[in-house]
Every structure is written in structure tokens, then in C-alpha cells.
Structure 1
Amino acid sequence: MESTENQGPVMTFSRENILGRGAFACVFAGTLNGVPVAVKRIQLHDLEDEIQAHEENKLKSMDHENVLKILHTEENEDFKFLVLELCEATLHDYIRRRYVGDMPTDPNALHQMASGLSYIHSKGFVHRNVKPENVLISQTGVLKIADFGYCKPFRKTSSFSMSIPRGNRIYCSPEFLQLESKTKEEKEKINNDKAIDIFSLGCLFFCYIKMGDHPFAKPGSPVNYTVTSNIVYGKKYLHLAMTREHYAFDIIDGMTQAVPEDRWKLERVIELLTPRVVKDKTNA
């Protein structure tokens, strides 16, 4: 059991009890003042760029039931530690049928994810890494958007400087995937930051409902590198896996439009899902 102690909160974690591991961080089971939490340890030199104190404080101040709460942060000369709410699993676990616990209805799940992302945007941030692994399932079955490793604040011009996409690229929008071929000056001109997240969430909606399929892959086919090519060239197979009468068809289709300005806004998505959520609660 390791601990970092100061005059403030007391954080401990167990290096033997690993909850998750990524390319740039490891998540351990731990405690904060004796309360069970998740402790995400990130090597400082692996941070994409240094988070300014006021940006970190803004992230810590986020308070929404569908956004994973950052309870505390610490760092030493080697690592930054993010103390997070403890959850049961990820949407990736659910989609792969590794998690069979409590879950909301499908319309409610989509509504929760859209609400969490909308809140993040309202606080002036773009997530940039929306995917099944970064949506957690709480101990009470509530979905929470997590992992702010790539989360960046909007600039006053409503844009931000975006680096080459890393991680799971099959949830990246076409303009984000094509950043690699652009100059620094061209990247700076891209100001459709919210639209990037909306595209990713639209793909995630489909993957969630269809338990692993992707709107830019033929139903039942492997979801692999060919998907990114299909995204860039607009080869969408949504109509092969979902009827046009399905309540989510127009929503997902609208969120995954090739042109960023044509994508549905989250307010519209939430508005359309709300009646179904109310109906589900009434029938529960």
C-alpha cells in the first residue's frame, strides 16, 4: 500500500490492485480519507502538455452526475495522481459482455452520455477522446464520461490547437483524422471543436445499441483500421443494421454527418431523447 500524505486529504493506493491500464496511465484501487476511490497515476513526461493550474481547477470543479468526478489531485517529481470516483466497469466491458450488472434503458443511457458531454462543453472544454473505454458505469448503474487526458479548453476564438489523434481512431471524426496531413496554420483554423466530440458520441451510440458494431462498418464485420478509411470517405452502413424507424436512427445519422456544421447539436439530441426517458421512468 502506497500513500501520499500532506496537510490536506490523505490518499492511499495499492500497486497490486490494478483497475485499469492504458498507454499513458495506470488506475489503482485506493482510498481518500478512508473512502474507496480510483487513483489514476500518470507519468508527468507522458502528459500531452502541462495542465495550467487554473485549467486543472476548472476540471476539478466539474459537478454533473454523468461526468466522472475528480475528487483530488496530487503530484510528485515523477507522477500526477488523479483521485476519481470508484466505478464498476466501462461501456467497453458492457459491450463485450464482461459486465452484466445494472444498466439504464438504452434511451436513458444515450441521454446520460449526451447530457454529460453537453455539460463538459458548457464548461468550456472539448473531450477529444470519447469512446466506450472512457464511459464508466457507476455502482448504481449511472453512466459517467471519464478520462480527461486529452481534454482541452476552448480558446477565445472558439477553437483549439489539436494534435494528431492517438488511441482508438475509429471514434474520430473525418476532419480530426485528416489533421495529420495539415499544416500547423491549417490546424489552427479548425474551430469545430464541439462537432468532433459529437461525431465520436454518435459512433458510440451505435456501438452501444448494436453491442459492438460500428456505423462505418458492415454489420457483423470486424471493426478495424478499415473503419477509419470509411469515416474519411463517408462510407456509412447505418441503414444496414438499423431501420430508419428506429428512434435512434436519425439521431446517430445526424451526429455522424461528414460536414461538421451539419452535425446535430447535443441540445437537439437531448430534446429528442427526453420524452423516451420520461416514459421509461413512468413505466418503471
Structure 2
Amino acid sequence: MFRMDYEPSSMQLDDEVSRSPMPSPRAQKRPRPLKVLPSGGDEECSSQSLSQSRSAGEPSTCSKALSGRPPIPKLREIQPPMPRNPYLVRADDDSHVFQASQSCLNRGNYSRFLWDYHQEVELGHGNFSKVYRAVHRLTGVPFAIKTNRSPITTLQARNMWLNEMQALAAVQHHPHIVGLYDAWFEPDVRGDAEQAYLKLELCGDSLGGVFKRRVQLKEQEVLDMLRQIASALKRIHDLGMVHLDIKPDNIYIALESSQANNNSCAAACSSSGISTGNVYKLGDFGLAIVQGGQRAGTSEGDSKYLAPEALKSRDFLNSGLADRLDIFALGASAYELLRGSELPKNGQVYHDIRAGKIFLPGSNQRLVGLLKKMMAPDPAQRPTAEQLLRSPLLTPAGSTGGQLQPQQSPLPLSQ
């Protein structure tokens, strides 16, 4: 008698093996190397040959096929979605429905600026930078985005942009300084370089733009500008910083929404004496520096508004009176706006202005005297920003007390 013990589950039949979910190693297909075709006139042949070879499992039959190099994908530029904000822009049917947003950008080529913001129009540009009006894609809020014109390829160029980011961040939040909301670097899509981005408060036109349109500013408007920018300079100088680029192109007129916000902060803005007119904001801190510190760049600012001591010595930032450079430039900016014609960049008149020879026929002599003090050849004779704010002409009572004569006709542009 025999006894056989076995388990039926351990026995496998041939047909069970054939139904196993794991394929046999001999049944696996090994991928064939792709043969890449050159771009050019044979694109149609290459695409057709490659598609047929993939379907049939055979290599391409195109005579010009090359092997050994991976295919180069063709990138297609796709605009990211931009949902409408129903609280800012009403639809025709007045429906308050949020639009769904689905990612469609290749994250390998991710650009925060292109992904998060819709670039609308260029607002202006300089030698090294350009500014765009850009709308945030999710919220619909417009901002001013400042970036570099040429790719950043050196450490010095990167430090110049980093200096502006940090300087502007240090002086926040002041009612007469352009607001900084964010700043970042990202790889440049054009090569081995970087792009810098500053997300700034969106303002209106600059006084330089107003001047170029031949719009004559009244004396009261210039006094308002002097008072408000002097308040911004006091903030800057109290932190031990110097702006070094005060000029009409860097003084902006705030938009109406910003003016309403600033005027609502009466307690915070009382020291700056905001009037019922325009609100002015100082921007562009690319040349800012700590007094006596090391400069990130080599530019000394616009020569039209440069103080005379900067022409005599390269050590003017270590004199202890570096803040008076900004006072001179602010006075020169006001002088140009009242003069009605552009200040010279060189020549005899250029040196006469730096010698204290300022002429404004028909203007209030008290205002002319204030400008002469601000543009005195000796920096020690110029007022500080705090002393400037205490001037009777720049106090709210002095500027609205009717002591100024009516604005006279502007000087001809040829003078």
C-alpha cells in the first residue's frame, strides 16, 4: 500500500503557465535605437519614415538618416491660461463664475514671469533695464515689472541688480517711494545667463515724460514735488543711504488709486505734507549706496544733475556729505522743470549752473533762493533733507498761504 501526499495548488499545467500575467523574458521586445534625421528639406521624408519604422518595428529607410544622436524636440510656445477675475472685469452676461486653470507650460522651461504674469506693454526703458506693464494671471491685478535688457552673465551685473532689490526693500514702506512687492532671478532662456525681475507698484507717467511732452509745471506743483521727494530722501538718508540718481525720469506720478490710499493714511503721511494735488513717488534705486560703502557699479548718475564735487574727486562718497549729492540733484530737477528747457550736459552754461548762477525770470524769488541753496557749490552750504522739509516754502502752510506769485509764462525752449 502506498500513500501519496500532495497539494493541488502546487501543481501547474502547461496551459496555466501560458496564462501567467508575467510575460516570458523571451517574449519581451527590446527597443531599437532611434535614427534621427537632419532638419531641412527632408522633414517630410524623415517624419514619414520614422512613423512607418515605429509602426513596423523597422529602422527608417530614408537615405539621409543618421544614428547615435537623440531626437531634438521642437518646442511649441504655449500661452498659460489667464482666468478672468469677475470682481475686476464683468462679463457681458454678468456671470460670476471662476474659470478653471489647467497647467499647459513645460515645467522644464519654467519661467515665473511668463507663467504668472501676462505682459501687456512696455512702459519705458533705460540703458540697462526695461519696464513692462504686466497683469497677474490669477488675480488680474496690474504691476510694473522691471527687468534687464541684456542677459546677466557676470557677477558684477548680478550684484548691481541685487543691490537695487535690497536697497528698495530697505526703504519700504514710504508714501513717496515706489512700492516693491517681490524680486527674483531666473535662468535666461537665451543661454547660460540670468534675468532679474522686480515687481513694482504701477505708477503713472514720470515727470521726465511730462517734461518731454512740453507740459509746463506750475510753481505750486514743483513745490509739492520738492516737499514729497524731500520726505523720501529723509527716509533714505536716515538709513545711511544715498540715492545718486535723482532726476525727473525717476520721479513718478502716482495713480489715482495710490493717491487715495496715501491720503487715507493721514497720520503716517502728515510729516510729508501731502497736498490735495498729485502724489509723487521716487523710484529706480539702481545706483543707491551706503554712505562710504563700496559701489556695485561704476556709474555716477546723469551728468545733467551731478553735483560739482563729484567732478572734482572720486572720493566724494567718503566726505561725510554724500547725502548732499541728492539735494543738489533734486534742486537741479526742480530748476529744469521750472526753466522749461533741458539742462545742458556740458559747456560753459553747465559750469555756470554749478557755480550758483541760476536765473528764473518771472518766478518767485523765494523759490529761486531755495533752489540756489540746494545747488550751492559747497555741499556743506546745502540743507539736509530734514532742514529742507522745515523750509517755510515747503510746509503746508507756506505752500498754500497764497504767498507765491502767479505762474508766469515759461521761458522759450531755446533759452
Instruction: Provide the TM-score with structure 1 as the length reference.
Output: 0.76
Matched position secondary structure for 1:249? helix
Q: 1:22 to 1:74 in 2, by over 3 A?
A: same
2:341 to 212, 217, 228: 212
> In 1, distance between residues paired with 2:133 and 2:331?
31
- Alpha-carbon distance in structure 1 between the residues aligned to 2:284 and 2:228: 16
Of the three residues 163, 170, 173, the one matched with 1:63 is 173
SS in 2 for 1:247: helix
Is the radius of gyration larger for structure 1 or structure 2?
2
Cα deviation per residue 1:99-126 (whole Å; 9 max; x = unaligned)? 699x973322221121112212223321
Whole-angstrom distance in 1 between the partners of 2:168 and 2:355:
36
Candidates 173, 198, 210, aligned match of 1:82: 198
1:193-242 CA-to-partner distances (Å, cap 9, x unmatched) read: 1011111111112112233354xxxxxxxx232268506x843331x324
Give the 3 Å change call, closer, same or farther, for CA 50–228 of structure 1 in structure 2: farther
Q: Distance in 1 between matches of 2:317 and 2:227?
A: 32
From 248, 251, 257, the counterpart of 2:370: 251
Q: Which residue of 1 aligns with 2:6?
A: none
Q: Name the structure 1 match of 2:145.
A: 39
Tell me, what secondary structure is at the counterpart of 2:377? Answer: coil
Per-residue displacement from partner, 1:170-205 (whole Å, max 9, x unpaired)? 1011122334xx4xxx46743321011111111112
Taking the aligned partners of 2:230 and 2:350, their CA distance within structure 1 comes to 26
Superposition pairs of residues 117-156 of structure 1, within 5 angstroms: 117-140=233-256, 141-154=278-291
Aligned pair 1:114/2:230, yes or no? yes
CA distance in 1, matches of 2:161, 2:206: 29
Tell me if 1:5 matches 2:112: yes
CA distance in 2, matches of 1:52, 1:137: 24
Q: Which amino acid aligns with 2:117?
A: T
The answer to whether the 8 A contact 1:68-1:145 is kept is: yes
Distance 1:235 1:67 in 2: 31
SS in 2 for 1:44: coil
Q: Find the residue that maps to 2:135 and give its secondary structure.
A: strand
* Contact 1:72-1:84 within 8 A present in 2 as well: yes
SS in 2 for 1:160: coil
Task: Tell which deviates more after alignment, 269-278 or 110-119.
Answer: 269-278
- Structure 1 stretches lacking a partner, 5+ long: 215-222
Change beyond 3 A, Cα 1:224–1:189: closer
Matching of residue 160 in structure 1 with residue 266 in structure 2: no
| Cα pair 2:216 2:337 within 8 Å, conserved | no
* Greater per-residue strand proportion: 1
CA distance in 1, matches of 2:322, 2:158: 18
Structure 1 residue 53 displacement after superposition: 7.2
Contact kept in structure 1, 2:356 and 2:375, CA below 8 Å: no
Measure the CA separation in 1 of the matches of 2:290 and 2:116.
Answer: 28
| Alignment: residue pair count | 257
| Change in CA separation of 1:87 and 1:207 when aligned onto 2, cut-off 3 Å | same
| 8 Å CA contact retained: 1:11, 1:30 | no
Which residues of 2 match residues 18-33 of structure 1 at below 5 A?
18-32=122-136, 33=139
The sequence identity of aligned pairs, in percent, is: 22
Partner of 1:177: 311
Distance change (3 Å), C-alpha of 1:270 and 1:242: farther
Shift of 1:92: 0.7
User: Residue 161 of structure 1 contacts residue 187 of structure 1 at CA under 8 Å; is this kept in 2?
Assistant: no
1:207 aligns to what SS in structure 2?
A: helix
C-alpha deviation, 1:55, in angstroms: 8.2
**Which residue does 1:218 correspond to in 2?**
none
Deviations for 1:13-43, whole angstroms, at most 9, x for unmatched residues? 42x6111011001101113453101000024
State the 1:266 CA deviation: 1.5
Q: One-letter code of the match for 2:346?
A: Y
What is the aligned partner in structure 2 of residue 73 from structure 1?
183
Listed one character per residue, the Cα deviations across residues 222-275 of structure 1 (whole Å, up to 9, x for unaligned) are x232268506x843331x324685231221111111111111112221111113
Shift of the 19–271 alpha-carbon distance from structure 1 to 2, 3 Å rule, reads same
SS of the residue aligned with 1:27?
Answer: strand
Distance in 2 between residues matched to 1:4 and 1:279, nearest whole Å: 54
